[in-house]
Structure 1
Amino acid sequence: MGIIYISLSLCVCSALISISCCSEILDTHKILQTLEAQQHAISQLTNQVLQLKGELQSQKRQMDETSERLRECSRNKRMLLENPYEGALKVGFTAKLSKHMLNLGNNQAILFDYIVTNIGHHYSPNTGVFTAPINATYYFSASILSHTNELLQTEIVKNGIREVMIYSYDNDHEQGSNSVVLQLNIGDEVWVRHLGMVGTKVYGNGWSTFSGFKISDD
């Protein structure tokens, strides 16, 4: 009887030890699972922090660029207030006749073909015509050199209507000149042309010139 009791006791103890060991194994497994889950969560949080950091840096760059644009606008506004014509459209040209023009026809345009200055490119050396880009007040001048013992009359015209005339004549070369201030609308045209049938030759080689520029906006 005693032997049986001892045997039963040993069996019970073995069972308890086995249960205890299994319990410890289960607890360790749960702890490992928890740690793995926490590591995964930490990794996700780290990625989110890095993403937020990148977004904040991008927003900072955008704010810096916006601030720079605002400062530039402020500088431009201040410049315009100090000089109201600083941002206005600039217009001006000077062209000269590179070769002699011979056998001029009645009212033939004089083609000042060599460009010295053409701010805005509103003068055409192909046609000899300046076209107004905006409504404004403009100044024009022309100097025309005639050949020896040759009478020559020319004129500055606006849209084909005479504004001022130029007379050139002498026993030697003679240079006539004139100028005019005109109020032009967009698309108005100004050029220099031969006046009637008086004379047939214009001296080139850079001696005859045509110039114009904008004085002020209307």
Structure 2
Amino acid sequence: MKYICTSILFITCISIVSVFGGEDCCRKIGKAKAALLEAIDTLQRTNRLLGESSAIPSNKVAFHARLTPYVTLGSAQTVIFDHVITNIGKAYNQHTGHFTAPFNGIYVFACTFLQTRGTGVHLQMVNNSSEISKGYGTSGSGEAGVMTAVIYLQKGDVVKVRHYPGKGSQTIHGHWSFFTGYLL
């Protein structure tokens, strides 16, 4: 880009000098050339900085996933939110339903879920095997359950949503149930 602009400026300078002549004209064109080259350098530096800042830093972690099918859950069964909408850092696995912490840090998790008509749903959010939150969607029509947790995780810790142990089979509604998490 720099060389194309310089070449165009040089050709313009020769054309003007040959038509109008004079030293004063060449001096003005020389100043214009210097200003143009400085502007090109500034634009290139700005583009490099913008390019670097638009990339997502490697220590960012966030995911948002939705459950697509209706799922009838057995005791302590993991809910697999299979449709990943966002997965920055690739820490959520849509095949297992597990979020694995890639870094030590404070994480925020939320789960919103809807039961099918006529049945309640008991869910539990666990870190490794310890409960960190629980929620219940009542048996009324269109009643949602919600769970949230803010927790310090160490690299390799696993957070998942599962059916509450010992609650018998209950059905969770597809398309209206989400699991979200991110590193603060």
Q: What TM-score does the superposition give when structure 1 sets the normalisation length?
A: 0.57
* Greater RCO structure (CA 8 Å; 6+ sep): 2
**2:153 equivalent to 1:184:** yes
1:111 counterpart = 2:56: no
Q: Look up the match of 1:53.
A: none
8 Å contact kept, 1:132–1:188? yes
* Paired amino acid for 2:103: I
1:17-74 deviation line (CA, Å, top 9, x unaligned) = xxxxxxxxxxxxxxxxxxxxxxxxxxxxxxxxxxxxxxxxxxxxxxxxxxxxxxx9xx
Cα distance, 1:144 vs. partner?
A: 1.1
Where 1:147 maps in the other structure, the secondary structure is coil
The CA distance in 2 between the partners of 1:124 and 1:97, in whole Å, is: 13
The total of aligned residue pairs comes to 135
Per the TM alignment, residue 160 of structure 1 is displaced from its structure 2 partner at its CA by: 1.5
How far residue 98 of structure 1 moved from its aligned partner, in angstroms, is 0.6
1:149 corresponding residue in structure 2: 118
Equivalent residue, structure 2, for 1:203: 173
Q: Residue 91 of structure 1 aligns to which amino acid in structure 2?
A: V
TM-score (ref. length: structure 2) = 0.67
Where do 5+ consecutive residues of structure 2 fail to align? 1-44
Q: CA deviation at 1:169?
A: 0.9
Q: What displacement does 1:164 show?
A: 0.8
Following superposition, the deviation at residue 87 of structure 1 comes to: 4.7
2:104 partner amino acid? N
Q: Give the superposition deviation at 1:170.
A: 3.2
- What is the 5 A alignment of 1:26-37? none
Q: Structure 2 matches for 1:4-43, cutoff 5 A?
A: none
Q: Is the 8 A contact 2:114 2:172 kept in 1?
A: yes
Q: Aligned AA for 1:111?
A: I
Distance 1:144 1:207 in 2: 6
The corresponding residue for 1:96 is 66
Q: Percent of pairs identical after alignment? A: 33
Q: In structure 1, how many angstroms separate the alpha carbons of the residues matched to 2:143 and 2:78?
A: 20
Determine the structure 2 residue equivalent to 1:173: 142
Q: Secondary structure at the match of 1:138?
A: strand
> CA–CA distance in 2 between the matches of 1:138 and 1:93?
11
SS of the counterpart of 1:201?
A: strand
Mapped partners of 1:196, 1:212: distance in 2: 23
- Which has the higher Rg, Structure 1 or Structure 2? 1
- The residue type paired with residue 144 of structure 1 is F
Report the structure, 1 or 2, having the larger strand content. 2
